[in-house]
Amino acid sequence: MIRRALLSVSDKRGLVELARALHELGVELLSTGGTAAALTGAGLPVVQVAAYTGAPEILDGRVKTLHPKIHGGLLGRPTPEHQAEMAAHGIAAIDLVVVNLYPFEATIAKPDVTLADAIENIDIGGPSMLRSAAKNHERVAVVVDPADYGAIVDELRAGGGALGGPRRLALARKAFAHTAAYDAAIAAFLGSIDDAAADARDAAPARRPLPDVASWQWRRLYDLRYGENPHQQAAFYADASSPLGGAIAGRPTIAGAEVLGGKQLSYNNILDLDAALGLCLELGEPAAVVIKHNNPCGVATAASCVDAYVRARDADPVSAFGGIVAVNREVDEALAALLVETFLECVVAPGFSEGARAVLGQKKNLRLVAAHGEWAPKAGGHAWTVRTVSGGALIQTADTGLVGARAAKVVTRRAPTAAELTDLDFAWRVAKHVKSNAIVFCKDGATIGIGAGQMSRVDSVKIAELKARTPLAGSAVASDAFFPFRDGVDVLARAGATAVIQPGGSVRDEEVIAAADEHGIAMVFTGMRHFRH
């Protein structure tokens, strides 16, 4: 039975409504600071924690709830021994704790935050109460998420003011996850700054991109039917630090996307959707991307996504069968009519018109994924990528850099024409998202041949040439890393390419440049490699 509740929250969404419902159920309300002021302002009777404990808030509010009447009231078990000891010390049971913590992550997200400000926003009393209540969830209910308020009130009303054991266990599990994520954020921040920051607490500390200790929390969104293969178990998780797995820095994510129709996404669907979204976000013009087995098989830009999709699909229609499509504009009815011509697994876009959904709905198993956020090229950011290996993990900053073709260094006698520069820039953006070794032929803003994931670069060139369905004469080529020998340049020249973009940096660069000059090819070096293993 819930007779006494302690409420102390930074996130005040739904607070007054919850407190009013508790008051109507006869629950005594204890509170602190701004939470107490909000409840008093709403006309609700509140007992200040300082009055309840007989101990005032001290040390600028750093000590408010660290008191035996609070923690004894939370940790006391319903045993005769505990009950007698609590009575001897004048400690009453607290049956419900509603707490969420100082906004530490929001504080450190400010670019000019000082170490002093960050430290002051480390909550002490809140996590202590959460841990005490969660440990004693046999008797105490602990709530950290405003999204749970409605269900809790409904159960209290239906249960005569009591919450069942399964609910209390679920809430405790969530509370411990909440405090673990909070501590992980603190550890990550402190691990990302140099020791010298200790002597400059009122300045914004310089931060390293990779901390000493890396901690993440992933919240399970849903179980998958199986993993990469039917004998493997799998589930889809979202980054717990991003609300509902939503947009990161305004950019859409697959974890935060809305599935509008079709079967549940599979493990492989999610990987391919992420690859399609990542490439499409590189392209500002109306664009379409067709992905198969995590590699693009067709990419194009055009005046409209309808035209872009036709060009992307036709670049490799055999591979497009059973593929994943991304477009960076809302799918309209005209585009939908083209999409249903080919068997596709998924389509991801910023949105779908009602007419498009009606057309695409004819394909019952086609997954429609609306990824909300800013679909536009955007450099910078501090996102990490994580790959597990036996006994550990590889962590790196995300590959958000890109040296465009117009900023690259011309290394051959002939400089690229304006049209070649445009195609080189497009091919370079695509190559960044192709498994290494990667070779991309393109012309007029569309790929016409892609060689991916080969053990030798010259084989990638040959495969790209083999897969081309249109003549390669006059095409531009991107290579994700340098050509180690001239043979790759010789092959792409025979295929008809006239311009090449690559990072450079080989010990045989002069030999490769000489080969390009022999063939009349324009070549530029970016100085930036884009391996994708």
29 touches 7 (CB < 8 A): yes
CB-based contacts of 462, cutoff 8 Å, min separation 6:
451, 491
pLDDT band at 243 (very low <50, low <70, confident <90, very high): low
Our answer to whether residue 82 is catalytic in this structure is no
Cis status, amide bond into 100, omega within 30 of 0: no
Query: Cβ–Cβ contacts within 10 Å for residue 413, how many?
Result: 12
DSSP alpha helices (H): ranges in 221-304?
A: 267-280
Q: State the Cα angle at 282 between 273 and 209, rounded to 5°.
A: 90
- Does pLDDT of 351 surpass 70? yes
pLDDT bin (cut points 50, 70, 90) of residue 209 is confident
Tokens of 483: 């050509």
Which region among 50-54, 96-100, 405-409, 438-442 has the lowest average model confidence (pLDDT)?
50-54
Residue 381 has pLDDT above 70, yes or no: no
Residue 63, class by beta-carbon neighbours within 10 Å (0-12 exposed, 13-18 middle, 19+ buried)? middle
Mean pLDDT, rounded, of the chain: 91
Check pLDDT > 80 for residue 162: yes
For 62-101, how does the pLDDT look when each residue is reduced to its tens digit (9 = 90+)?
887 788 888 888 998 888 898 888 888 888 899 999 998 8
Residue 335 has pLDDT above 90, yes or no: yes
Most confident of 4-13, 24-33, 439-448: 439-448
CA distances from 46 to 36, 56, 156 (A): 7, 16, 20
249-253, 353-357, 475-479: lowest mean pLDDT where? 249-253
Q: What is the pLDDT of residue 249?
A: 58
- Kindly tell me if the per-residue pLDDT of 382 is higher than 60: no
Are 523 and 510 within 8 A, CB to CB?
no
How far apart, in Å, are the Cα atoms of 66 and each of 83, 86, 325?
Answer: 21, 17, 55
Q: What confidence tier does 103 reach under pLDDT thresholds 50, 70, 90?
A: confident
Please state, in angstroms and rounded to a whole number, the distance separating the CA atoms of residues 493 and 13: 64
More confident residue, 110 or 447: 447
pLDDT in tens, 445-492: 999 999 999 999 999 999 999 999 999 999 999 999 999 999 999 999
| Whether the predicted pLDDT of 247 surpasses 60 | no
- 445 versus 34: the higher-pLDDT residue is 445
Q: Identity (one letter) of the amino acid at 161?
A: G
Using the predicted structure, report yes or no on whether residue 221 has a pLDDT greater than 50.
Answer: yes
User: Does residue 53 have a pLDDT over 90?
Assistant: no
The segment with the largest mean pLDDT, out of 231-240, 311-320, 398-407, is 311-320
State yes or no: pLDDT of 240 exceeds 80: no
Is 346 in contact with 273 (CB distance < 8 Å)?
Answer: yes
Mean pLDDT of 485-501: 96
Opening angle at CA 279, ends 401 and 498, nearest 5: 80
Is 135 among the residues known to form the active site? yes
CB 49 within 8 A of CB 72: no
Over residues 393-415, the mean pLDDT reads 92
Q: How far apart are CA 531 and CA 503, in angstroms?
A: 11
- Please tell me the distance from the alpha carbon of residue 182 to that of residue 233, in angstroms, as a whole number: 29
Query: Minimal CA–CA distance to 111: which of 199, 207, 202, 191?
Result: 207
Note the maximum CA span of the chain.
96
Lowest-pLDDT choice from 176-185, 296-305, 330-339, 470-479: 176-185
3 state SS for 135-182: HCCCCCEEECCHHHHHHHHHHHHHCCCCCCHHHHHHHHHHHHHHHHHH
pTM: 0.83
Average pLDDT value for residue range 377-384: 63
Nearest-Å Rg of the Cα atoms of the chain is 29
At 379 the pLDDT is 56
Please tell me the distance from the alpha carbon of residue 43 to that of residue 25, in angstroms, as a whole number: 16
Residue 188 has pLDDT above 90, yes or no: no
Say if residue 227's pLDDT is above 70.
Answer: yes
Residue 373 token pair:
């956020």
| 492 within 8 A of 500, measured Cβ to Cβ | yes
Separation of alpha carbons 144 and 126, rounded Å: 10
Catalytic member of 174, 263, 293, 363 = 293
Q: Is the pLDDT of residue 246 over 70?
A: no
Catalytic-role residue among 82, 135, 372, 378? 135
**Which pLDDT belongs to residue 77?**
87
Q: What integer is the mean pLDDT of 129-148?
A: 93
**Structural domains of the chain in order of their starting residue, each with its CATH number:** 4-199 (3.40.50.1380), 262-373 (3.40.140.20), 405-525 (3.40.140.20)
- Sequence-ordered list of residues with C-beta below 8 angstroms from that of 60, at least 6 positions apart, any chain: none
